[in-house]
Chains A and B, each alone.
Chain A
Amino acid sequence: MKENIMLSVKNLSIQFGGLHAVENFNLSIRENELYGLIGPNGAGKTTIFNLLTGVYKPTSGTIMLNGVNKINGKNTIEINKMGIARTFQNIRLFHKLTVHDNVKIALQNKYRYSTISGILRLPRYHRYEALMDEEAMALLKVFNLENDAMMKSANLPYGKQRKLEIARAIATNPKVLLLDEPAAGMNENETKELMNTIRLIRDKFNMTVLLIEHDMKLVKGICEELTVLNFGKVLAQGETNEVLKNKEVIKAYLGE
């Protein structure tokens, strides 16, 4: 069976002044795969996420989604509509709004109704609001957040905020989900739970997941393939077990 390449990146580079933050980066992720991106601090991992989501424009190279859709050159909003959603290393929630509203906001592209029908409370408003309510709640249940639905998202404990961010990203119904250090600040139990959740969403929502992580237990536990980045360049690429045995990787990142 020929496997579909969901995300392919060719010769991607970006320069900030004289600094080559990312140089000739290549990546191809199969559909429904769990892919890990690791490397020491400052290696350019988050920069790659920012390039994939249109926050930065690449100096050169191409990014293709699903083999046909060219991503680079588009802005963040268009890229999200095309099917890439992300979470952030430093949590970015809509902190004054409730947990439930955070997810509802992410559903805004799926259930579109005009400002006028919102103000005049036309039937479309009632129909779509009810659908949004249900769908947001169902999504919160996947992450065991349904009992916190009414809480202000800023008041959630740290682990739950991370989960909510993932739930919000999934609500935009992406093909590719980018997770930037999802286990940062979590204890061992929470990390285990998170691993199960990531597997679950991959299977349940049929998603391709690319994640940045420093927690090697999580990386070993769920990533099928890995790319190791160092100083903006690819150090090693391939199946997780083999990459982690690579001597250069051990020297640069894992430690002897």
Chain B
Amino acid sequence: MDYFKLKRQKKARYNLSIYLMIVIAYAIVMFLSYQGKISSLLNGLLVPFCTYSILAVSLNLVVGISGELSLGHAGFMCVGAFTSAVFTRYMKFLGVEGLYLFIIAILIGAVTAGFAGLLIGIPVLRLKGDYLAIVTLAFGEIIKNIANAIYLGFDENGAHFSLKNTMALGLSDKGFVVIKGAQGITGTPHYSSFTAGVILLIIVVTIILNLVNSRTGRNIKALRDNLIAAESVGISATKYKLIAFTIASSMAGVAGVLYAHNLTTLTALPKNFGYNMSITILVFVVLGGMGRIRGSIIAAVVLTLLPEMLRGLSDFRMLIYSIVLIVVMIFTSAPAMKQYMEVLKNKFPIIKNLKAVTLKKFSKEGE
């Protein structure tokens, strides 16, 4: 039927635009770095771009698509980062290194963070209301503080665990401390690269796009739009919200793995895994547009780049950052601005005509 073809084309075009955007950006960066034209500042930002894009896209699944508010996304990132880093650091201690370990680390990060999400979600998502926001807010802080307090070491007798200090671990001479409390994990192998980040981003985007356009995704959106009506057609609210939340948490875990293996030292600071980080990710999502995958990626990249570009302005940096946020919000949601966009569309009728032609074609053949 013509209608389905049209609908599929429309969806395929949107999906393709996301992939094209990522691939083109990747190609440009690769070309420039091949010519040695990339500054060291930008070079250091390449992996964070991917990390924050994955975080923004996955949080969009919770906030934009399932309509719940999560304020502890960085907490799940922290879980993924630490569990995977313990694994790779221990393997490095054993003398095993290689990129295949990174793949295992990614799986470990995804599974543990997903499991944490499941544990949080099971009790909270049975309730109706904003409880998820409150609980995830607490979870993020708790995880960060736990990561700061843990001492973990290995020797020939196995793993040793303490919350006091390195001495309390009671390791033998051959022993080795992996997590040193607030000092975190030092000497994590540097597995992350821009290529790996882009591949992970593409995988994450594919999973989310496929999910959203499937039965599960439609059920999740139905619950967001009208909970009572969704239950009246037989959709279990807890089950589908839990699926969305668990998948999003496990993706945040993957972002954590990418983050952990980009730095030699992994410490849990308020800056990287705290409340501020969670809010920053939420800002990416809100600014990029609720439920808009492409928007989330663009917002994540632009808003990661912006503070770095403004470094020269020192004191005025955060001021300008916030002005940019306000301006973007006015541009996207103010009624006057929307009217102006309509005027623009009328002046340049190409966009409008394109839509009208396809609609007309459809209704004619539908008769």
Contacts and interface: CB of A to CB of B under 8 A. Distances in A.
Interface in A95-140: 95-97, 100-101, 104-106, 108-109, 111-113, 115, 118-121, 125, 128-129, 133-134, 137
A81 B234 contact: yes
B221 A115 contact: no
Interface stretch (A34-42, A143-151, A191-199, A231-239): A143-151
B243 A172 contact: no
Nearest to A125: B214
B210 interface: yes
Contacts of B367: 147
A88 B230 CA distance: 12
B217 interface: yes
Interface in B1-23: 1, 3-4, 6-7
A106 B214 contact: no
Given A80-B232, A94-B229, A105 B362 contact: no
A140 to B, nearest CB: 10
A80 B243 contact: no
Contacts of A86: 232
B236 interface: yes
Classify the secondary structure of B's interface with A.
Answer: helix
Interface residues of A, number: 45
Interface residues of B, number: 34
A85 B233 contact: yes
B1 A137 contact: yes
Interface string A161-178: 000000011011000000
Contacts of B35: none
B67 to A, nearest CB: 10
A101 B1 contact: no
A247 interface: no
Interface in A172-192: 172
A53 interface: yes
Nearest to B359: A150
B91 to A, nearest CB: 29
Given A94-B229, A137-B3, A108 B215 contact: yes
Contacts of A137: 1, 3
B263 interface: no
B170 to A, nearest CB: 44
A81 B224 CA distance: 21
Contacts of B235: 77, 105, 108
Given A133-B4, A150-B6, A118 B214 contact: yes
A111 B219 CA distance: 13
B232 A53 contact: yes
Interface string B183-212: 000000000000000000000000100110
Given A113-B215, A119-B211, A93 B229 contact: yes
A10 interface: no
A106 to B, nearest CB: 4
Contact of A105 (B211, B218, B363): B218
A108 B210 contact: no
Nearest to B3: A149
Contacts of B231: 75-77, 80
B366 interface: yes
Contact of B228 (A92, A104, A118): A92
Interface string B221-259: 110111011111111100000010000000000000000
Nearest to A103: B233
Contact of A94 (B207, B210, B214, B222): B222
A168 B231 CA distance: 12
A95 B221 CA distance: 10
B114 to A, nearest CB: 13
Interface in A183-237: none
A104 B234 contact: no
A97 B222 contact: yes
Nearest to A112: B215
A85 B235 CA distance: 13
B145 interface: no
Contact of B214 (A92, A115, A134, A147): A115
A137 B243 CA distance: 28
A53 B359 CA distance: 39
A134 B234 CA distance: 21
A135 B214 CA distance: 16
Contacts of B229: 88, 92-94, 168
Given A86-B232, A94-B221, A96-B224, 18 more contacts: A55-B228, A76-B231, A88-B229, A100-B7, A101-B221, A105-B233, A106-B233, A111-B215, A113-B214, A118-B210, A118-B214, A119-B210, A119-B211, A133-B4, A137-B1, A150-B3, A150-B362, A169-B232
Sorted nearest first, the 10 A-B pairs with minimum C-beta distance are A118-B214, A92-B229, A94-B225, A80-B234, A106-B233, A115-B216, A76-B231, A92-B226, A105-B222, A109-B234
20 contacts: A77-B231, A77-B236, A80-B234, A88-B228, A93-B225, A94-B225, A96-B224, A100-B7, A105-B218, A105-B222, A108-B218, A115-B216, A115-B243, A118-B214, A119-B210, A120-B210, A121-B210, A128-B215, A150-B7, A169-B232
